Structure 1
Amino acid sequence: MGAGDVLDHHVDPTSDRAVFRQIADHLRMAIRTGRLEAGQKLPSEAEMMEHYGVARMTVRQAVAELKSEGLAVAEHGRGVFVRSRPPVKRLASDRFARRHRKGGKAAFLAESETVGAKATVDRIKITEVPAPSDVAERLKVQSGEIVVARARRYSLDGHPVETATSYIPVELARGTRIMEDNPGPGGIYARIEEQGRTLDRFVEDVSTRMPTREEAQLLNLGPGTPVFRLIRTAYDLEGRPVEVCDTIMSGDAYQLSYELPAH
């Protein structure tokens, strides 16, 4: 698709909306309607200057808008491209259902299959650390008490989408596959339940913010892309917390979807 196929609108000089924002609107619409596809190069500055009859700075301001929204990314010496995005993963309320663990699938793998994406995990690091104060409060242990931390990064079809660190009481983790890179079929929840600590419920706190520099690098986030922070606490049938998971998720890779009873 050439520039003429994309640049099929003209700016309205009588509009109250700045010219560079009108140009950004046209490009944004082309991306959202698929006329500019992921990985495709945007029209060049020269093409846009000629089509719109504007100065180079005006074009650069328009493109900067798309970059700030995480829609476009510049590649040195090559131009500006539509940012490739991972498959959108539905964060559903049933993702920790026991049927998934019985089927030998951890939650991330089970949900990835619903969008037809290949799930991978890397950057696995297992350590024993003092519990951070907010984690200690949720686990009902003393602040600074030693717990097992399992940190990892998840990807869909090669796109990093989330990092997660699980904090588990040492008595539930030491001497089990929870201390190994691969905790086995069903993930760490299956290993916890094997010890007689049947899971009963999960409590999640979700917030949004802009990523730290390290998070943006780990998740390959473009400028202007926010993250979800989800902190989940897992409880057994006796109401005892057995795990706290602190997850950072790419804001453009997830849709929160919950089914709530009306009674």
Structure 2
Amino acid sequence: MAFVDYQPTLGNFWSSLFKSDFVGFQWFEYFFSGQDFVQVMRNTLVSSVLTLSIGFVVPILIAVALNEARLRWFKRVVQTTSYLPYFISWVVAANIIITLLSAEGPINQLLMNWGVVDEGILFLQDGKYFWIIIALANTWKDMGYNSIMYMAAISSIPPELFEAAEVDGAGRLKQIWHILLPMLRPTIIILLILNIGSLLNTGFDQYFLLGNSLNRAYSDVIDTYAFRYGIQNGMFSYAAAVSMFKSVVAFILVVTVNKIAKKMGETHLF
């Protein structure tokens, strides 16, 4: 579909696909030369890098902290609290975030009570706040679920290593730094490779629900851009080309980062 001028009026899907005119790379050239390309790529990359920077570290910290917790009830409460957002749909999560960040919401009330601002900030109406908001929202929603993999890796570490380190006089911080984190290294590298491959796959729901006409210059990413042109404007082939570009870049990133990890002697996918 990305290489033809798809016309859905030529019959059923397959007949319309094969009867449509072949245009080669026309839709890709249209995307690369369009005035929206730079803005969409900027928004996608900046928000993805921010999400990766924050959202990749926080689950590791949660897993390490829970492993060090000694009170079982406290550990269970933190686990449940951190896991719960993952099972909430983005429709519900977006409404929670919109309420918290509204002009008269709890965040603005705290800022005014502390004397940080004199009047409420329109967070979701001012595009300059959008990237950090979406990065924190993604982190909040996925951090508990993502920490499960690290906790599973921690549980497989032989306890004899920690006992030997304790006998040698190593405290908890030294045990974390010299035993726990090095043992987590293979898991961290594998997940990092996969996350880097998903840099352009920012997601659709959160950007569509939290974005609006006032912050579109910052909230319009590849997924929402393809939806707007493909579904709302009926440019199916153009949207397919944009999505195919995203998939090709993701494949190249995974292969490249995996090759770098392999050359450095680290754990790799293939």
**Shorter-chain TM-score above 0.5:** no
Q: Greater helix share, 1 or 2?
A: 2
Higher relative strand content = 1
Q: TM-score, normalised by structure 1?
A: 0.21
Higher normalized contact order (CA 8 Å, seq sep 6+, divided by chain length) = 2
